[in-house]
Structure 1
Amino acid sequence: MTQDILALAGDFPTLSREAWLALVDKALKGAPFEKKMVTKTHEGFSIQPLYTRADWPSTGDPSGFPGVMPFTRGGTAAGAVLHGWDVRQEHAHPDPAAANAQILTDLERGASSVTLRFDAAGRAGFDSDDAEAADLAGVEGMMIASLDDLDTALAGVFLDGAVVGLQAGAAFEPAAALLAALWARRQIAPAAALGAFNADPLGTLAATGSLPMSATRALSRLGALAAHTARSYPQATAVMVDGAPYHDGGANEVQTLAAVLSTGVAYLRAMEAAGLGIDEAAAQMVFSLPLDADIFLGVAKLRAARRLWARVLEASGASEPSRAMRLHATTARRVLTRRDPWVNMLRGTVSCFAGAVGGADSIAVAPFDAALGVATDFSRRIARNVQVILLEECNLGRVNDPAGGSWYVETLTDRLAREAWSAFQGLEAEGGMVAALESGALAGRIAATWDDRRKAIAKRKDPLTGVSEFPNLAEAPVATAPVDLAALRQAATTRLSAARWDGVAPGDFAAAIEAVGTGATLGALARALGDGAALRVPAVVPHVLAEDFEALRDASDDWLAAHGQRPKIFLANLGPVAQHTARATFAKNFFEAGGIEAVAGAGFDEAADCVAAWRDSGAKVAILCSSDGLYETKAEDMARALKAAGVSRLYLAGAPGERRALYDAAGVDAYIQAGSDVLGVLGDLHAHLGLAVEGSAR
């Protein structure tokens, strides 16, 4: 019996790249290939429209196999195939009791681990009732200052069954002591305790520009914490290297990876100084990388990170199994919008997909309302179920490194790894991460990158759906979880003052755990474990991509509240619908991205009718919208009539070409088209109409 073998595409001739390029050139009709077909990234990469086997070696694949050097394809041979990835949920409700209800719900309905974000007071090393932290208590995190507070937040949580991660900023050691003391209170065997203390003092220094101790002291305390963790809690980790402080500041992916590598090296040295061997030190580290809405770049970023860290550890003398990076992925905060926040569901889905395909060990998807305030039950449910669906219904973890072998992804991974390694070497040549932060050099480079990205956003080269593109001025506000901060602060003051600790200040982590058991608070431990030498450096200022457009929308909302209506622009549409619709639609989206309501007029043939409709609209400004052909016959007369009637600023939708001088003379003040500086035009119009723009929300 014979079996026919189906040869896909076997009857078609093999085409060369040159033949394909010839067809493309024909389709472009003389337009430049580089301009029309090649995409430039903020890393300086040119993304080609087509990748072939010529772009990646077909033999001796440099990415290797999962679970072995260079670990590009995964830290373990099986990846997420056997057990999936760790579905993590971050919690930041100020009230520990309310947070506990949310934590239990998440763990019961799909999450497998949680992260507790301490409030701004706790992250700075203050108790919730400290006078120096009066405006920080309950801000962007949980009010946890004592063992009882943490016990309340984690009531009913099996601490030997679910990993509890901490985000405690500069107070990483006091927060770790609270969790370790809770393990002791709950009688969790040290060998069974699950947790991630997530000490990252350099990340805190980058994000805030300050530490309540010297960098030397902070690294020494990190090393001591890691040494104690390695000896006492074999299933816990002490250190996290977080890329978010740099990424949130506007860094591109090369800069983010370089900062992460340099930080990791600084932490390795600190742990070795504390007595840990290189393999032991590597085992204490987890890396966290934020992911934007670019799937391919996100996948390549995670793959490149594993390859780079394996190279660092190889050079440091670590054994091959110890070189596998433990990798956590999160939704990048900079992509989340306050306007049309429903779109954030899609952004979270994209980042989760990239994290899963890129081989992250754990993933946290941000709730869609995270940029607005405290997440609701509904938004947390959606964030949680995004992961559950991708994991259990889409079976996304069933294939290990599904992007492996893709000529595009492999090429992008390689380029990203090489450029990041070079940038990392540059940081090390400057003296390492501490020196780069203290000098402000890193913050300056990231700020320059943000300026370039900001210009691309302003011109909508980097579009933001629901914000700079397709805005909805009539959208209903999204309610977040209600929080009475004043009541929570008063309750915390009463709770802490009733049990104010007056014991002996601990000198090391073991003593700190014991002190917590006798009533020591986070603030007391922070004072005792620091060295009193506050450090100040230029911060990596955080940004969100939508901040400039959202500032314009905020100003529009203020105008609406003060005047009962939004600022308006009249769409002076010329001729029949078929002639003006395209540019009228473009103009409406253009101006409403800045909160300027577009009032559409009918297709006008006579200037008098257009002027009358403009007067009825209540707008002070107007824009001519039609085809180039009708502009030639009607634009000048319409412009003169509108300006004579009192239009204070007149725009024209489209490029004026050779007729610009004529249109200018008729009264057209400005032109909008694809590639215009949308933000600049809108900001100028806001100033013209008298709207006050306070700046970004952050």
Structure 2
Amino acid sequence: MTDQQLNFTQEFKKPTPEEWKAEVERALKGAPFDKKMLTRTYEGITLRPLYTSHDWPSAWDPSGFPGAMPFTRGGTAAGSRLNDWDVRQVYSHPCPVKGNATILHELNCGVRSLMLKFDQAAQAGLDGDAPGAAELAGAGGIMLYSVDDLDRLLTDVDLRLVPISLAAGGQSLAAAALLAALWRRRGVGAGDAKGAFNADPLGALAAGGSLPASLADALAQMAALARYTQATYAQVSAVGVNTTAYHDAGATETQDLGILLATAVAYLKAMTAAGLTVDQACRQIAFTVAVPCDQFLGIAKLRAARKLWARVAEACGASEPARAMRLTAVSASRMMTTRDAWVNMLRTTVACFAAAVGGADAVVVQPFNAALGVPDELGLRVARNTHIVLAEESNIAKVIDPAGGSWYVESRTDEMARAAWNEFQGIEKAGGIAQVLTDGTLAAAIAKAWSEREAGVAKRRDPVTGVSEFPNIGEAPVATEEVDVAAAKAAAGERLRATRAKNAGPKVEALAKAGAAERPAAAVVAAEAGATIAQMAQALGGTPVKLTALPQHRYGEAFEALRAASDAYRARTGVQPSIFLANLGAIAQHTARATFAKNLFETAGIAALPSEGFTDAAACADAFKASGARVAILCSADPIYEQMATAVAGALKGAGCEYLFLAGQPGDKRDLYTGAGIDDFIFMGADVLKITGSILARLGVIAR
């Protein structure tokens, strides 16, 4: 034993960056360093292969400490160390009765707060039994049209302990009135009520394409709700800045952050114009952003969001405590797949990890089958247990900002913040978020970003596991909750008739006559009296504004559309679209490219029909005829192609092959091979979506 301190690096020479790069270039064997070792992201940021202390100052850390400016490392000094992060879940089952049973079970199993999503009818200001609500009732959310409906949904939920967040689109004031009325009905004191009304008129307009009133009136209504909330509820926020609609449409992560800042600034202006101080207005905002399954990108995004907002709030005159962002992270919808949906469990786990490490105050993990319909008990269970395993078994929250100090994470956070700041400045210079949203320039910028992402997915530069890579065309469907929509609508109609019998007419009339500042309080009184969403929406009135809603995209959607077309074709004809693998030579010679070809074509539901390694053209042609396929692909090593490709191609074309591929780059043999009858070539970097789509069109599966 010895007390001597050992220095394990003192006898080793410390290489310089130039020496390291030279060593890497030797390993690359002539391949260009920049092409092989640098990565360009969709945000326009170049990722380097190595980060050192030269990239981030070690003597003085600009990220500071958690709970202090610039809040990069967390909004509170203790972070999630004391109570982990808030495990939040979104509920959208149309029936409040079924939803209540699910919510009670979820709360008993680890969920801490609830996000209630109203159906499309309620978000449009309609009751579920209204003539124009036939297709909207129960679509995309819960049939919540009155305080009675909300009371039924939250039966036996202790509203003093469980925070309730609302997602009601353009009807945020009416929805807030229902929740406030329920708090009063249950005897929950104003100081004990917890939750978020999430009035977000710009986000609602972007997502749904409409608002019940002009944007100016909607902002004024939001500000009035903020004033009422600030004066009434100590633990409730009125305003939400939720950018998931932009993220779903294809915005880059830095575009998303720029939109986040611009929206928050617009809301700050509206609230301060209505009489709130800057500090009061800042504390009324709850932020929600999507987190992808790119671990370090997600961590850096959340850290950059806090840093950016703190600087904006500081510039607006907010005190240091008011500059801390309250941030909810949601696992991104656009990464979710409907094919091989089980893989979504892994995606959401990475997103939850990134959100927790990045310091989100609350995290929503979407169930793995959320893209397929209403999640069932298994989907909800896996989602909530993802939080629990990460928090309690992986101990993620035991260290505040565990990524802090990482040369890579700190550099990437700073680079993202700078890029997002440029996006924010661009929006402000163009007239602000309302201007770029209504004139279509924001939608165009997002569409451009999405088209670049689409190209990456189509060529599999951005692989989607189970969809564009390693597909399983024989997979069984993934279950979701079975919803009896007709029964739910009938039950909703009965509840509405009972509610209307209370005759809330006088209170609704009072709401209609109330001034803008008095409307939130009047809406609560009307809701207490039994006013429905539609009645309050009509009383609040206004001239509706409409624009084209932002689209909702998912990375795998184009490949999934081809798979769906193939499935429909098989159901209609009893035949699976197929391609014959003309494997040449020994197993060792054809396996790699045969596997590559199978993987590629089955992304579109085109079954790859295997074969033994052929050594003569006639036998290959006979096997092709027997397979019943109409198209084929040669699979082997380049030396075998040189010996056999032209002869086999001729034999296959003579046997009726309508279109023939060769797996691999033809190089200087292209003209020779095409002259022999080979029509196209597949290889790494090819446009897989275009290739497979053209084959499905040739086979009559999809329209040309």
How far apart in 2 are the matches of 1:6 and 1:239?
57
**Paired residue for 1:556?**
566
Q: Which amino acid aligns with 1:587?
A: A
**Paired residue for 1:181?**
181
How far apart in 2 are the matches of 1:35 and 1:133?
55
**Paired residue for 2:302?**
302
How far apart in 1 are the matches of 2:86 and 2:205?
28
1:686 equivalenced with 2:696 (yes/no): yes
How far apart in 2 are the matches of 1:595 and 1:195?
46
CA contact (8 A) 1:447 1:540 kept: no
* TM-score, normalised by the number of residues in structure 1: 0.98
* Counterpart selection for 1:511 from 506, 522, 529: 522
Relative to 1, partners in 2 of residues 1:121 and 1:416: Cα closer, same or farther, differing over 3 Å?
same
**Paired residue for 1:442?**
442
How far apart in 2 are the matches of 1:22 and 1:261?
43
For 1:503-562, what per-residue CA distance to the aligned partner results, in whole angstroms no more than 9, with x for missing partners? 33313111111111111001111122231x111224322211111000000001101101
1:27 equivalenced with 2:27 (yes/no): yes
How far the C-alpha of 1:38 sits from its partner, in A, is 1.1
SS in 1 for 2:553: coil
**Paired residue for 1:572?**
582
SS in 2 for 1:89: strand
How far apart in 2 are the matches of 1:538 and 1:96?
31
**Paired residue for 1:539?**
549
**Paired residue for 2:214?**
214
Relative to 1, partners in 2 of residues 1:235 and 1:614: Cα closer, same or farther, differing over 3 Å?
same
**Paired residue for 2:341?**
341
CA contact (8 A) 1:69 1:320 kept: yes
Q: Which amino acid aligns with 1:371?
A: A
1:49 equivalenced with 2:46 (yes/no): no
How far apart in 1 are the matches of 2:133 and 2:452?
36
**Paired residue for 2:245?**
245
**Paired residue for 1:421?**
421
CA contact (8 A) 1:437 1:538 kept: no
How far apart in 2 are the matches of 1:304 and 1:526?
38
CA contact (8 A) 1:198 1:238 kept: yes
How far apart in 1 are the matches of 2:124 and 2:37?
49
1:527 equivalenced with 2:538 (yes/no): yes
How far apart in 2 are the matches of 1:130 and 1:37?
60
For 1:545-604, what per-residue CA distance to the aligned partner results, in whole angstroms no more than 9, with x for missing partners? 111000000001101101223100000000000000000000000000011000001100
How far the C-alpha of 1:338 sits from its partner, in A, is 0.2
For 1:430-460, what per-residue CA distance to the aligned partner results, in whole angstroms no more than 9, with x for missing partners? 1111111111110100000000000000000
How far apart in 2 are the matches of 1:551 and 1:329?
29
* Counterpart selection for 2:623 from 613, 616, 628: 613
How far the C-alpha of 1:495 sits from its partner, in A, is 2.4
Relative to 1, partners in 2 of residues 1:609 and 1:463: Cα closer, same or farther, differing over 3 Å?
same
SS in 1 for 2:405: coil
**Paired residue for 1:40?**
40
How far the C-alpha of 1:499 sits from its partner, in A, is 3.3
Q: Which amino acid aligns with 1:248?
A: D
* TM-score, normalised by the number of residues in structure 2: 0.97
SS in 1 for 2:90: strand
How far apart in 1 are the matches of 2:303 and 2:209?
30
SS in 2 for 1:53: coil
**Paired residue for 1:112?**
112
CA contact (8 A) 1:443 1:538 kept: no
Q: Which amino acid aligns with 1:420?
A: A
* Counterpart selection for 1:594 from 582, 587, 604: 604
For 1:392-450, what per-residue CA distance to the aligned partner results, in whole angstroms no more than 9, with x for missing partners? 11110010111111111111110110111111011111111111111111010000000
CA contact (8 A) 2:579 2:633 kept: yes
SS in 1 for 2:654: helix
How far apart in 2 are the matches of 1:285 and 1:8?
51
CA contact (8 A) 2:146 2:499 kept: no
CA contact (8 A) 2:630 2:658 kept: yes
Percent identity, aligned pairs only, is 54
**Paired residue for 1:270?**
270
For 1:292-343, what per-residue CA distance to the aligned partner results, in whole angstroms no more than 9, with x for missing partners? 1101010000000000000011001000011000000011000000000000
Q: Which amino acid aligns with 1:541?
A: P
For 1:168-199, what per-residue CA distance to the aligned partner results, in whole angstroms no more than 9, with x for missing partners? 11111100000000000001011101111111
For 1:34-54, what per-residue CA distance to the aligned partner results, in whole angstroms no more than 9, with x for missing partners? 111111110011111111111
* Uncovered stretches (5+) of structure 1, i.e. residues with no partner: none
1:63 equivalenced with 2:63 (yes/no): yes
Relative to 1, partners in 2 of residues 1:693 and 1:251: Cα closer, same or farther, differing over 3 Å?
farther
CA contact (8 A) 1:211 1:534 kept: yes
How far the C-alpha of 1:280 sits from its partner, in A, is 0.7
Q: Which amino acid aligns with 1:128?
A: G
Q: Which amino acid aligns with 2:83?
A: H
* Uncovered stretches (5+) of structure 2, i.e. residues with no partner: none
Q: Which amino acid aligns with 1:624?
A: L
How far apart in 2 are the matches of 1:221 and 1:62?
39
Q: Which amino acid aligns with 1:478?
A: V
How far apart in 2 are the matches of 1:12 and 1:213?
71
How far the C-alpha of 1:8 sits from its partner, in A, is 3.8
Q: Which amino acid aligns with 1:643?
A: K
For 1:333-355, what per-residue CA distance to the aligned partner results, in whole angstroms no more than 9, with x for missing partners? 00000000000000110000000
CA contact (8 A) 1:555 1:693 kept: no
1:672 equivalenced with 2:678 (yes/no): no
Q: Which amino acid aligns with 2:595?
A: T
For 1:660-686, what per-residue CA distance to the aligned partner results, in whole angstroms no more than 9, with x for missing partners? 111101110110000000001011111
How far apart in 2 are the matches of 1:28 and 1:612?
45
How far apart in 2 are the matches of 1:561 and 1:239?
49
For 1:102-153, what per-residue CA distance to the aligned partner results, in whole angstroms no more than 9, with x for missing partners? 1111111011111111111112221111211210111111010011110111
**Paired residue for 2:636?**
626
Q: Which amino acid aligns with 1:565?
A: V
How far the C-alpha of 1:693 sits from its partner, in A, is 6.5
RMSD across aligned C-alpha pairs, in angstroms? 1.2
SS in 2 for 1:9: coil
**How many residues were matched structurally?**
693
CA contact (8 A) 1:259 1:433 kept: yes
How far apart in 1 are the matches of 2:142 and 2:11?
65
How far apart in 2 are the matches of 1:80 and 1:517?
37
SS in 1 for 2:382: helix
**Paired residue for 1:98?**
98
How far apart in 2 are the matches of 1:350 and 1:160?
32
Q: Which amino acid aligns with 1:249?
A: A
**Paired residue for 1:398?**
398
Q: Which amino acid aligns with 2:53?
A: R
Q: Which amino acid aligns with 1:513?
A: V
CA contact (8 A) 1:446 1:540 kept: no
CA contact (8 A) 1:443 1:539 kept: no
SS in 2 for 1:674: coil
Q: Which amino acid aligns with 1:324?
A: A
**Paired residue for 1:653?**
663
For 1:207-234, what per-residue CA distance to the aligned partner results, in whole angstroms no more than 9, with x for missing partners? 1222121000110111011111111110
1:604 equivalenced with 2:614 (yes/no): yes
Q: Which amino acid aligns with 1:181?
A: A
CA contact (8 A) 2:148 2:499 kept: no
How far the C-alpha of 1:692 sits from its partner, in A, is 2.2
CA contact (8 A) 2:149 2:495 kept: no
How far the C-alpha of 1:10 sits from its partner, in A, is 3.0
How far the C-alpha of 1:2 sits from its partner, in A, is 6.8
